[in-house]
């Protein structure tokens, strides 16, 4: 099962490597990892999606708590979340297929961000299922490249950690 946690860390060099190293050393699989600054320039937030059961999640939380630059850990298990993934995707788009591809882009409420002679680059934002569905529907046209941010998440209604 996928579990989402958010980790508030000190914004300093080496923290990401330290956290990723902890996961690797203990054999935990990271499904998604996104890191960015917060409203406080001294802090960054890591949104980590891990695969595992309750025992695995508990071990991840305990091990993260031992890392000095970790300030706070938020376990989003069981909470109603807003989750988003951002993707840029290049799709083969010869002129005769562009209107067809544009209809798909509109259907997914995506956005064209670049057009070349043989491709179109599209920005897709939304839940992981939406992003995956967009990739699947574009495969027959030819997916040339995909870049994704990884999942970010925040509880609805201003709820905080458990």
Residue with tokens 């490249």: 145
Could you tell me if 49 and 76 are in contact, meaning their C-beta atoms sit under 8 angstroms apart?
Answer: no
d(CA 17, CA 20) in angstroms, rounded, equals 5
Judgement on whether residues 86 and 42 belong to the same structural domain of the protein: no
d(CA 100, CA 82) in angstroms, rounded, equals 30
Q: Residue 19: what pLDDT?
A: 92
Judgement on whether residues 68 and 18 belong to the same structural domain of the protein: yes
Q: Residue 162: what pLDDT?
A: 43
Tell me: the pLDDT tens digits for 98-120? 999 999 999 999 999 999 999 99
Average pLDDT over residues 125-150: 97
d(CA 102, CA 141) in angstroms, rounded, equals 12
Judgement on whether residues 36 and 51 belong to the same structural domain of the protein: yes
pTM: 0.83
d(CA 162, CA 33) in angstroms, rounded, equals 21
Domain closes at, from 53, 75, 97 = 75
**Does residue 151 surpass a pLDDT of 50?**
yes
Average pLDDT over residues 15-33: 90
CATH number of the domain encompassing residue 22:
3.30.70.260
Q: Residue 48: what pLDDT?
A: 94
Tell me: the pLDDT tens digits for 70-88? 999 999 988 899 999 999 9
d(CA 110, CA 124) in angstroms, rounded, equals 5
d(CA 151, CA 149) in angstroms, rounded, equals 7
Judgement on whether residues 8 and 67 belong to the same structural domain of the protein: yes
Judgement on whether residues 90 and 145 belong to the same structural domain of the protein: yes
Number of folded domains in the chain?
2
Q: Which residues contact 72 (CB under 8 A, 6 or more apart)?
A: 7, 8, 161
Is the model more confident about 162 or about 126?
126
3-state class percentages of the chain: helix first, strand second, coil last, to nearest 5: 35, 40, 25
d(CA 80, CA 49) in angstroms, rounded, equals 15
Q: How many residues does the chain have?
A: 162
Q: Residue 158: what pLDDT?
A: 56
């Amino acid at each position: 099962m996928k579990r989402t946690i958010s980790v508030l860390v000190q914004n300093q060099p080496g923290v990401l490597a330290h956290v990723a190293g902890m996961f690797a050393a203990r054999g935990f699989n990271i499904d998604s990892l996104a890191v960015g600054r917060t409203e406080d320039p001294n802090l960054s937030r890591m949104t980590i999606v891990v695969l595992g059961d309750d025992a695995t999640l508990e071990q991840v939380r305990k091990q993260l708590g031992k890392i000095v630059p970790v300030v706070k850990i938020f376990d989003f298990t069981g909470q109603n979340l807003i989750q988003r993934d951002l993707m840029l995707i290049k799709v083969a788009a010869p002129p005769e297929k562009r209107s067809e591809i544009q209809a798909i882009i509109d259907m997914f409420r995506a956005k064209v961000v670049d057009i070349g002679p043989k491709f179109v680059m599209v920005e897709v934002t939304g839940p992981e299922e939406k992003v995956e569905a967009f990739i699947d529907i574009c495969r027959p046209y030819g997916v040339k490249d995909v870049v994704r941010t990884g999942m970010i998440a925040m509880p609805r209604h201003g709820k905080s950690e458990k």
